[in-house]
A and B are shown apart, each in its own frame.
Chain A
Amino acid sequence: MLARLNDNWSLLNPWRTVNGLQKELLGLFDDFNENLNRYRAGYPQMIVEDAEKELTVKMSLPGYDSKDMDIEVVSDFLTIRAERKAPELNKDEKFLHRERSFGKLEESIKLPSKVKSGKVNARYIDGVLVITLPKEEAEKPHVVKIS
């Protein structure tokens, strides 16, 4: 867990939590050339927007229930836990094809700046968890005079 937190890989790579099948497909793609219009598998996992006064973290959680989501902010670390229950089929139904992933998910990221953890706001809109985190005012540099 700590090793994962110590780099900012999760901020750069939207593919960290995709399931096995998508991971295999991923080998075909790379994120180096952002300017190319590529066809990618899956969906953007997490988008972090860094504005002057606040950060906005958008995490794709399609088909989840907001009751099964849990957000934790400690200093400049954000942890999101969520669970999506697998659909139960009726007796006369059967899967012909399966790609979507279900189950528990935990994602921790180091935020680009410190935030006011008491003023974090989260909404679940169209399958996207939108978290707004107001930034902590930067400390003024303390100048020490040398006499």
Chain B
Amino acid sequence: MSDITKKENKPEVSKLEYIEFAPPSDVVENHTGIVVLLDVPGATTEKLSVNVEDRILKIEADTDLAQHGKHVRYKRSFQISHEIALDKISAKIKDGVLRLELPKAESARVHKIKVTTE
């Protein structure tokens, strides 16, 4: 990370100004929940904020990348269903990809029941 923040190679960057991007996302569903993948190059888990309010999941990730003298910030929100267990949401960033895991509440999972004939 320190390499991207090399100050001597960059023009003066204001700390308060941001240029905001809506990063592209993929949403995958499996039987235990939802996985959201977002391309957020330059962002790290340390500078990531994820919160849920009124079933709206808000994601904000800051980077040390600068464009036109402004820091690059990623921002995106998703509406999530009542099936998701809000207290079990987890998020981490690796190689510029944010992986959000949204497990379904136990009550919302599909339980397959085998039907047997007598």
What residues make up the interface of A, taking CB atoms closer than 8 Å to B?
14, 19, 21-22, 34, 37-44, 47, 49, 51, 54, 56, 58, 60-64, 87, 89-90, 92-101, 123-128, 130
Contacts and interface: CB of A to CB of B under 8 A. Distances in A.
Contact of A42 (B23, B27, B68): B23
A118 B54 CA distance: 56
Nearest to B38: A100
B67 A47 contact: yes
B68 A34 contact: yes
Interface residues of B, number: 43
Given A60-B42, A97-B27, A100-B37, A127 B20 contact: no
Given A44-B72, A94-B28, 5 more contacts: A43-B23, A43-B42, A44-B67, A126-B42, A126-B95
Interface in B1-45: 1, 3-4, 6, 8-10, 17-31, 34, 37, 39-44
A96 B74 CA distance: 22
Interface string B93-107: 101110000000000
Interface string B54-85: 00000000010111101010110000000000
15 contacts: A22-B24, A39-B21, A39-B75, A44-B67, A49-B9, A51-B9, A58-B42, A62-B39, A62-B97, A63-B96, A94-B28, A97-B26, A97-B27, A100-B24, A124-B95
Contact of A126 (B25, B44, B67, B74): B44
Contact of A96 (B4, B27, B44, B75): B27
Contacts of A43: 21, 23-24, 39-42, 72, 74
Interface of B: 1, 3-4, 6, 8-10, 17-31, 34, 37, 39-44, 63, 65-68, 70, 72, 74-75, 93, 95-97
Nearest to A130: B3
A39 B8 CA distance: 28
Contacts of B67: 14, 44, 47
A125 B4 contact: yes
Nearest to A94: B29
Contacts of B68: 34
